[in-house]
Amino acid sequence: MLHLALCVLYFAVLLALSAYGLHRLHLVVLCWRHRKEIARAQLMPHVAEEDLPKVTIQLPLFNESTVAARLLDATARMDYPADKLEIQVLDDSTDETQALVRAHVDRLRERGVDAVYLHRTNRVGYKAGALDEGLKVAKGELVAIFDADFIPQPSFVRSIVGHFADPQVGMVQTRWGHLNRETSVLTKVQALMLDGHHLVENRARYGAGLLFNFSGTGGMWRSKAIEAAGGWQHDTLTEDLDLSYRAQLAGWKFVYREDVVSPSELPEDVSALRAQQYRWAKGTVQSARKLLRRVLGSEKLTFAQRLEAFFHLTPHFAYPLLVLLSVLLLPALVLMPATDTITMIIVDLPLCVATTGSLAAFYMVAEAAQGRKRTGALARLPMLIALGTGLAPHLCKAVFEGLRHMAGEFVRTPKQGDNKGRYRARADLPLLETGLSLLSFASTVASIQTGHYFATPFAMLFTIGYGYVAMLVAHEQATRRREAATRILATSSERPSDPVAAEQTVGDLAA
């Protein structure tokens, strides 16, 4: 009986993961089928100079001293009539960023730039709250948003503003670029993951007329669309996804421009990446709790739109399934007899294709869409699977947190900029990842001894993935503690004169 229950549970998990894999293949097919509609987005209506609308660019900041000046300078270079462009700095900072940004805004105003500095003494609603406060006093009928680690290009506004000549267009999203793509294996894999989102998911959904989302930055909204959808709300940690669905349910159309690229900075350490992915995972689950029933029950949406929305709002549930699969793998290998070759071809091979094969096709399309070699995606695929696996235990916590609680603290992703040691994310000891790595290593050995050869490469990837992330987190923590101890020894004879160094030392020890 136990053997049967294990078998049913094991294959149920595999089938669920395969469903998400087949969905990725479906998006690849949609990209090809709707390639003409996707390309047509670049044919933007021309707007005469005198008819250009007023635009406000919102720059939400929180303790971003390493990148704030770069962001402001880039935004001030925007190729758009000065009398129709407002730069709105929404600064919730509690450190030296306040003084730096306020002084920078003053200098821009002296040059004739319409720059406004707004500082809140609390972080009510976090980023969503800051955007909502800024929208109340924004001069523009259109509002563009850039996070602190982005570098807006001078042509950004002119490249997309014409789409709003259609009164039904509520938002235009552009593609993210990656300033530090080639810095490390970690950034290369992240870049590939984000390229998959922008160049497969967004393109496919837009081209097929399905619902897709504003990515939180690098896009432009019609202010009336925000207001009509109920405004920025902060009961989830993914306010961008939440607003996107509410706006589209209210009838607004979205446009995706893959040819307009907004460069940004990728997290260069795994602790910052885990913090970012945790927020995205928890917020997406919260958005699913908030919106999925309403979406699935909407009579205004087609069946295809509702089905795609289900997969769009639930992808992070694959992480608990992945961890469960890792745990079930060893007893399944020991208790279930090895299948013969024919059974492997009939059962195991299709499951492998649905999972791994769909990933390969998905990211090959993403690479090809930007003129890169498809083989680059194949070369990085093992590390992408390993990294995704290694992040799974941490993101499981995010999924369960999202199921239990709405809202929560918005932990912003630390930005590197010109000072790579200034802001750092905290991380727990990677005990769970270490344990799962050891368990997966035992599964690797068991798969060979029992003749389950199809399971061997997956068990090895689990082992490498959990071990890789555990090693990176442990190494980062050890390095920070050594650096903090060195600073303490260097300043033990006198009180620190640099408050930033003192704050960083305390933070590193706490982490």
- For the annotated catalytic residues, the residue numbers are 92, 240
Question: What 3-state class would DSSP assign to 424?
Answer: coil
The CA distances from residue 441 to 370, 374, 429, 445, in Å, are 37, 31, 20, 6
Strand partners of residue 85: 55
Q: Are 96 and 65 in contact (CB under 8 A)?
A: yes
The answer to whether the CB of 317 falls within 8 A of the CB of 399 is yes
Three-class SS of 16-54 = HHHHHHHHHHHHHHHHHHCHHHHHHCCCCCCCCHHHCCC
CB count in 10 Å sphere of residue 371: 6
Q: Rounded distance, CA 244 to CA 423, Å?
A: 30
- On whether the CB atoms of residues 117 and 101 are closer than 8 A, the answer is yes
**E-state strands within 68-114:** 85-91
SS3 258: strand
Please tell me whether residue 233 adopts helix, strand or coil conformation.
coil
Residues 135, 64: Cα–Cα separation, whole Å: 21
Residue whose C-alpha is closest to residue 217's, from 138, 119, 151 = 151
Other C-beta atoms lying within 10 Å of the C-beta of residue 350: 12
> Is 178 strand, coil or helix?
strand
- The three-state DSSP-derived secondary structure of 441-487 is HHHHHHHHHCCCCCCHHHHHHHHHHHHHHHHHHHHHHHHHHHHHHHH
Query: CB of 280 within 8 A of CB of 193?
Result: no
Q: Which residue has the tokens 């087609």?
A: 302
| Token couple for 332 | 């399944």
Backbone angle region of 83, left / alpha / beta, with phi > 0 → left and psi within -120 to 50 → alpha: alpha
Dump the DSSP string for 333-347: HHHSPPP-HHHIIII
> Quick one: which of 262, 218, 217, 271 has its CA closest to 423?
271
The residue type of 446 is A
Distances (CA, A) of 138 to 144, 241, 260, 272, 347: 11, 22, 24, 32, 58
For the chain, the distance separating the N- and C-terminal CA atoms, rounded to the nearest angstrom, is 47
Residue 262: strand, helix, or coil: strand
